[in-house]
Structure 1
Amino acid sequence: MLNILPAKEIYLQGNEHALLLLHSFTSHTRDMKTVATALHNQGYTCYAPLYRGHGTHPEQLLHYQVDDWWQDVVNAHQFLLDEGYQKISVIGLSIGGIFALKLAQLERLKQIIVLSVPFDKEPEQLKQRIIDYAHNYKTIEGKPPLQIAQEMEPFENMPLHAMNVFQTFIQATMEQLDRIIIPIAIYYGEKDDALYTQSAETIYQHVHSSRKQKKGFGNSKHLMTLGRDQEAIIKEMIEFLQI
């Protein structure tokens, strides 16, 4: 049976401008590895924390919820402050984008870039993401179908309460978009669900940033930082961060 190595945080020290890179829900820091490497090569300090329960056996996800992952983001931001960085920008993918928006409402950031951000998510959809992740993980491990079916029961029987809290967190963040006044870039994949195109427009219209841009990428699905537009997205990020 295949033993999948757990993911790790990424910390690449560079100049005085630190980038906090936030991965998506049920994924891990590989979402940001190529981006972090490319931006570090441009001189930036890059830090991608790993949310609790992510990047390891899916059973770990059952022990945490959105408030824990948000606290991980708050702690990561504080880590950069403690390291002496006063110029901090945030790049967030999917739920990482939600966290970036939330952080921009509460802290002094230089700029943010958000990708594939949902303006709402049904609790059932969020639960299904965990179920799909768990099933795929166990399949990759090479477990037999009967064992997988037995091990999937806790995921299938997971109560929706934590997912309701998750949905409320997203909605509350979206209701405070007018508090964002720093430069923001909003990217979405044109091959992703139409919800994300709509969400990008919602964010664009409601933030109070004097410098804001919205851009769709024609070859991208949801995990934009890993897709076919990866190079073009990194190029856009570099241009946006340098202004």
Structure 2
Amino acid sequence: MILPGAEPFFMPGGKKGVLLIHGFTGLPAELLLMGEFLNKQGFTVLGVRLAGHGTTVEDMSHMTWEDWMDSVRDGYALLSGYCEDISVIGHSMGGLFALLLATEEIVSHVVTLAAPIFIPEERGLAALPPREACYGGYVPKARRRLKNVPPAANRTYRKMPLISIHELVDVIEKTKGAIEEVTAPLLIMHSRDDHTAAPVSADYILSHVKGQARIIWLEESGHLLPLASERERVFEEAVAFLQN
């Protein structure tokens, strides 16, 4: 059963569509404000729900990164039936899927928000047990309750399946191996105070994609760019880029 408010969302608009992809253990509501902003500018918007997200952590533990990618592919297929032109925006791990989608399908523009090519050492990834020892194991996932956001955005999982962290690592490695195939125009947004996705990730993406790309640095948004204090700038920069 999907948690209340964790459903995917569709906002019909013009023939230019935007596919929104949330991050690891997140849910579509984290991108709802951005979706509303884009829709007011005339875009048709679809916020997908990645398999195993917005339900239970036990459900998530049975999903592979390919299951998550299939959710993205399904969203693209649905949106392409309505729109003539599709751009893709992804937050955190969703940014990695946005890049991967751009290597498989025709996309007009790509926007990554805090995409994690590198994870800071303090996150403890080096202590992750081997895959075979992770089945059935979980670790806490702390996050402060956010104000002035859609209520469902505060219903993210409070623990993570250890096996799913291995799948996240696999997504990162897959993206590293495919990123040079990205030729669509790319806007990279990252905060300098991001302690979840190391800021050097943005530099890596910029230096490895083949298409036109640039970085917009934020100063005080942490990791949650679509929900943090500088979100209006994030939305405005994204719209300006997509309309170019």
Using the size of structure 1 for normalisation, the TM-score is: 0.81
Tell me what 1:189 maps to. Answer: 191
1:70 aligned counterpart, secondary structure: helix
Per-residue displacement from partner, 1:45-76 (whole Å, max 9, x unpaired)?
Answer: 00001112211333322222211111111111
Matched letter for residue 233 of structure 2: A
Matched letter for residue 52 of structure 2: G
Tell me what 1:13 maps to. Answer: 12
Q: Distance in 1 between matches of 2:5 and 2:44?
A: 23
- Residue 6 of structure 1: how far off its partner (Å): 5.1
Are the counterparts in 2 of residues 58 and 134 from structure 1 also a CA contact under 8 Å?
A: no
Please list, as runs of the form range in 1=range in 2, the aligned pairs for 1:31-180 lying within 5 A after superposition: 31-81=30-80, 83-120=81-118, 122=125, 124=128, 131-133=139-141, 160=163, 162-180=164-182
5+ residue gaps in structure 1? 138-151
Tell me what 1:231 maps to. Answer: 232
Matched letter for residue 74 of structure 2: N
Q: Aligned pair in 2 of structure 1 residues 195, 30: CA closer, same or farther (>3 Å)?
A: closer
Matched letter for residue 242 of structure 1: Q
Q: Distance in 1 between matches of 2:14 and 2:198?
A: 33
2:73 aligned counterpart, secondary structure: helix
| Larger proportion of helix | 1
| Residue among 204, 224, 241 paired with 1:202 | 204
1:226 aligned counterpart, secondary structure: coil
The answer as to 2:23 corresponding to 1:24 is yes
Are the counterparts in 2 of residues 120 and 171 from structure 1 also a CA contact under 8 Å?
A: no
Are the counterparts in 1 of residues 191 and 219 from structure 2 also a CA contact under 8 Å?
A: yes
- RMSD value over aligned CA atoms? 2.7
2:69 aligned counterpart, secondary structure: helix
1:99 aligned counterpart, secondary structure: helix
Are the counterparts in 1 of residues 48 and 71 from structure 2 also a CA contact under 8 Å?
A: yes
Q: Point out the structure with max Rg over C-alpha.
A: 1
Are the counterparts in 2 of residues 19 and 44 from structure 1 also a CA contact under 8 Å?
A: yes
Using the size of structure 2 for normalisation, the TM-score is: 0.81
Matched letter for residue 199 of structure 1: S
Per-residue displacement from partner, 1:23-52 (whole Å, max 9, x unpaired)?
Answer: 011010111100000000000000001112
Q: Distance in 1 between matches of 2:162 and 2:180?
A: 33
Q: Distance in 2 between matches of 1:216 and 1:135?
A: 23
1:172 aligned counterpart, secondary structure: helix
Identity rate, percent? 26
Are the counterparts in 2 of residues 12 and 47 from structure 1 also a CA contact under 8 Å?
A: yes
Please list, as runs of the form range in 1=range in 2, the aligned pairs for 1:207-226 lying within 5 A after superposition: 207-209=209-211, 211-226=212-227
- The answer to which of 84-93 and 42-51 deviates more is 84-93
Matched letter for residue 51 of structure 1: L
Q: Aligned pair in 2 of structure 1 residues 134, 188: CA closer, same or farther (>3 Å)?
A: closer
5+ residue gaps in structure 2? 120-124, 146-157
